[in-house]
Amino acid sequence: MTESTDFMLNDLRAALAGLYDIEAPIARGGMALVYLARELGLDRPVAIKVLHPDLARDEANRIRFLREARTVAQLTHPNIVPIFTVGEFDGFVFFAMAYVTGETLAQRVTSRGPLDPHTAGRVLCDIGEALDYAHARGVVHRDVKPDNILIDAASGRALLSDFGIAHASPPKTSSRQLGRPSAPRGLVVGTAAFMSPEQASGDLVDARSDIYSLGVVAYYALSGRLPFQASTDLGFLAQHISDPPPKIATAVPLVPPRFAQIVDRCLSKEPWARYADAAALVRAVAAAVAPPAVPLAIRAFMMRSTHLEAPALIHAFVTGVWLLPATLDAWLSPATPTGRAVTTVALGLALLLPVIVSVVRVRRLLAAGHERKELVAALAARQARRREELAFVYGPGPTSFERSMGWLARLALLTTIAAVSGVLELILVPPLISALLPSVITTAGVTAVLSAIVARARTEQRTDPLGERSLRFWRGPLGRALFRIAGRRPSADPSILTVLGRLETPA
């Protein structure tokens, strides 16, 4: 924070003394600064947005700033950050708004990577509902971007903020169906990386311009990068105007096809090709990311086959403890060719048995009229819900404690390696280290193991390893191969398949 900003903070505290206790700056923009404060009268935290005093001397800046306050003050919606008060004291022009504990969408993606389709869809629905509400009241935001989307830490709800360049016009009954209200021509305002083609050209913009910007936000949230890359604002504007947008599926192949089509439609160059209004967009996103109605056959396939757990344990024990050592002993010792052949065939059949059981299960799924992509979609939806539930219970993590344990485990492991390799003997006094070396190795090794176990145990609370492995398997090449094999006419003895089918079906 610069010296002039320090003076501004002190002056602001003096100007608002008795009304607000200014605590600390939390954000900074081109025209204003935002401070965390406590409203003394109601004893609640608020965010105070203050127009920079140098800009406040200009009447046009003051009018624009106060227009934002008046515009948002008229909008009462759970997904729009509300404004409480507007005021002018001792040369400061400010307004107080709700303080949202959490982070912006930009911060979320930067710190934890792209969102999964389910979470991204929920954010789009929240912001789409906020835009639909604003559009119905004649307000076009014109600066929809990740920095202006706040994610509430407690509820995960997304809120739209910063209507600083929004344009308000009287709403019309028929305007929603035509993509109105509209903002005037000629003035290019907004953030270049998220502007619609008509906004970048200085043409007439309406609610569908915000839908385009929300499409860019969706692309960024799902992929972690922008659809267009440029080093200057002019470069971004030129690409938004003339370059065809890349398909989201090329950047994120695992996005559900219906969701990918929605993002691509939002990024259409022509406003008429996008959704007519934000309400239609919200309906489409909600339908695309809603948990699918999972048929009985797929639900049964996804269930853990508890009736097979005992046979599976016996199979693993016999294979690992008896057949594998016996086969290795037969090949490494002077055994007879017959003994080698018998143990090798037995081991091969034991390893093949899980594949045969899986093929039988897949054949039953195919016979019920379902394909692999339906199973993968159901598994992906289940894992998305599971991740969301675990993140809510245990936090998004990792916590500072878990990170500390992870670094302690690494440091202890390096210490152990250095002690075993003799590096410590070269650094420290040889007689001293010779006496302490066994203790150093033991202590560092135990510390590394215990720290790693603690860090991993805490981290695994947020994951579902078994479910994730199942999803990767059926989505990957081995899962595809099993479905291809199961789709063919079985070449094995029908009696074997019959027995396995009976084993797979609980009594």
Residue carrying the six token digits 């005992």: 310
Q: Which of 83, 98, 113 is the last residue of a domain?
A: 98
Question: Residue 325 is which amino acid?
Answer: P
Q: Which residues contact 297 (CB under 8 A, 6 or more apart)?
A: 364, 365, 368, 369, 370
Q: Which of 289, 324, 351 is the last residue of a domain?
A: 289
Q: What is the DSSP string of 281-299?
A: HHHHHHHHHSPP---HHHH
Question: Residue 425 is which amino acid?
Answer: E
Same domain, 239 and 195: yes
Same domain, 366 and 484: yes
Q: Which three-class secondary structure state does DSSP give residue 88? A: strand
Q: Which of 45, 78, 98 is the last residue of a domain?
A: 98
Same domain, 413 and 329: no
Please tell me the distance from the alpha carbon of residue 394 to that of residue 396, in angstroms, as a whole number: 7
Please tell me the distance from the alpha carbon of residue 273 to that of residue 287, in angstroms, as a whole number: 20
Q: Which residues contact 195 (CB under 8 A, 6 or more apart)?
A: 188, 213, 236, 237, 240
Quote the pLDDT of residue 311.
64
Relative to beta strand 149-152, strand 44-51 is unpaired
Burial class (CB in 10 A: 0-12, 13-18, 19+), 82: middle
Quote the pLDDT of residue 177.
45
Q: What is the DSSP string of 376-399?
A: HHHHHHHHHHHHHHHHHHH-SS--
Question: Residue 191 is which amino acid?
Answer: T
DSSP 185: S
How many Cα atoms occupy the beta-carbon half-sphere of 433 within 13 Å?
14
Same domain, 164 and 179: yes
174 and 241 Cβ atoms separated by less than 8 Å: no
94 and 51 Cβ atoms separated by less than 8 Å: yes
Question: Residue 119 is which amino acid?
Answer: T
3-state SS, one letter per residue, for 194-232: HCCHHHHCCCCEEHHHHHHHHHHHHHHHHHCCCCCCCCC
Quote the pLDDT of residue 169.
60
Supply the CATH number for residue 24's domain: 3.30.200.20
Q: Which three-class secondary structure state does DSSP give residue 46? A: strand
Q: What is the number of domains present in the chain?
A: 4
Per the DSSP assignment, residues forming a β-bridge with 183 are 205
Quote the pLDDT of residue 53.
82
How many Cα atoms occupy the beta-carbon half-sphere of 109 within 13 Å?
24
406 and 451 Cβ atoms separated by less than 8 Å: yes
Same domain, 188 and 49: no
Same domain, 124 and 269: yes
- Dihedral sign for Cα 419, 421, 423, 426, please: positive
pTM score of the predicted model: 0.64
Tell me the CA end-to-end span of the chain in Å, nearest whole number: 72
215 and 259 Cβ atoms separated by less than 8 Å: no
Per the DSSP assignment, residues forming a β-bridge with 21 are 38
Quote the pLDDT of residue 78.
93
Quote the pLDDT of residue 322.
66
Supply the CATH number for residue 284's domain: 1.10.510.10
| Chain centroid to CA 122 | 11
Quote the pLDDT of residue 198.
93
Same domain, 20 and 129: no
Same domain, 278 and 340: no
152 and 159 Cβ atoms separated by less than 8 Å: yes
Same domain, 141 and 177: yes
195 and 214 Cβ atoms separated by less than 8 Å: no
Please tell me the distance from the alpha carbon of residue 187 to that of residue 165, in angstroms, as a whole number: 11
Same domain, 130 and 72: no
**Active-site amino acid positions:** 143
Same domain, 85 and 124: no
Calculate helix-pair angle for 278-289, 257-266, nearest 10 degrees.
160
Question: Residue 86 is which amino acid?
Answer: V
Q: Which whole-number Å values give the CA distances from 341 to 327, 335, 338, 347, in the listed order?
A: 9, 10, 5, 10
Quote the pLDDT of residue 276.
92
Q: Which three-class secondary structure state does DSSP give residue 24? A: strand
Q: How many C-beta atoms lie closer than 10 Å to residue 504's C-beta?
A: 15
Q: Which residues contact 494 (CB under 8 A, 6 or more apart)?
A: none
Residues (pLDDT < 70) of the chain are 1-7, 30, 164-189, 292, 304-323, 329, 334-336, 340, 392-399, 402, 418-441, 453-462, 489-507
Please tell me the distance from the alpha carbon of residue 338 to that of residue 132, in angstroms, as a whole number: 78
Q: How many C-beta atoms lie closer than 10 Å to residue 381's C-beta?
A: 18
| Chain centroid to CA 270 | 29
Same domain, 167 and 224: yes
Range of the domain at 448: 398-461
